[in-house]
Structures are given as C-alpha cells and as structure tokens.
Amino acid sequence: MAERDVICSDCGEKVEFSSKEPPCKVLDGWLMLSQWKGLGFVEHHHFCSLACLKKWAEAHTPKIPKVFLESFTDEEGEENISL
C-alpha cells in the first residue's frame, strides 16, 4: 500500500511509493522546486520532466503586453528592437 505520493504540478502524473522505497530511486528524473512565498512559507512543486517544468514556468511568468512591445516600432512600421 502506498504511503506517499508525488503529483506533477503541470501534467498531474502521480507516483506512489512506500516508506520502504527510497524517494531518490522512485523519483529518479523528477525535479523539485521550492518557492518562497513569504516569511516561513514555502510552496513545493514537483515535475516529472523538464518539459513540464518549462510549461509550468511559462504559465507562471508575467507576459509583456503586445501593445507595449508595439510601442517600440518606428513611424514606418519597422521594429527598433528584435523580438
């Protein structure tokens, strides 16, 4: 019977294991992220792959509004910076 489980914070893949199994073997290849949320509060995230970590990070990263980026074009419609 599983005593512990870890769920991927992106895709939801679940791994169950007992206290007799070392987590380092069961979770081989998994990535763990600890995010400080304030004084004494840490949020833990688990990812089954780099791809899941990348998707999660992109979803939790603020986006630059398109209108802001478009403000860097000159009058002729050419970009002053490469996007």
pLDDT (0 to 100) of residue 70: 84
More confident residue, 9 or 77: 9
In a domain, 78, yes or no: no
In a domain, 76, yes or no: no
pTM of the model: 0.70
pLDDT (0 to 100) of residue 1: 56
In a domain, 80, yes or no: no
In a domain, 11, yes or no: yes
* Residue-range definition of the domain harbouring residue 44: 4-70
In a domain, 77, yes or no: no
pLDDT (0 to 100) of residue 67: 87
Q: How far apart are CA 67 and CA 56, in angstroms?
A: 25
Which pair of tokens denotes residue 7? Answer: 């769920």
Residues 6+ apart with CB under 8 A from 33: 9, 44, 45, 46, 47, 53
In a domain, 33, yes or no: yes
The 10s digit of each residue's pLDDT in 42-51 is 999 999 999 9
In a domain, 10, yes or no: yes
Q: Which residues pair with 46 in a beta bridge?
A: 32
Domains in the chain: how many in total? 1
What is the rounded end-to-end Cα distance, in angstroms, of the chain?
52
In a domain, 66, yes or no: yes
Question: Residue 56: pLDDT above 90?
Answer: yes
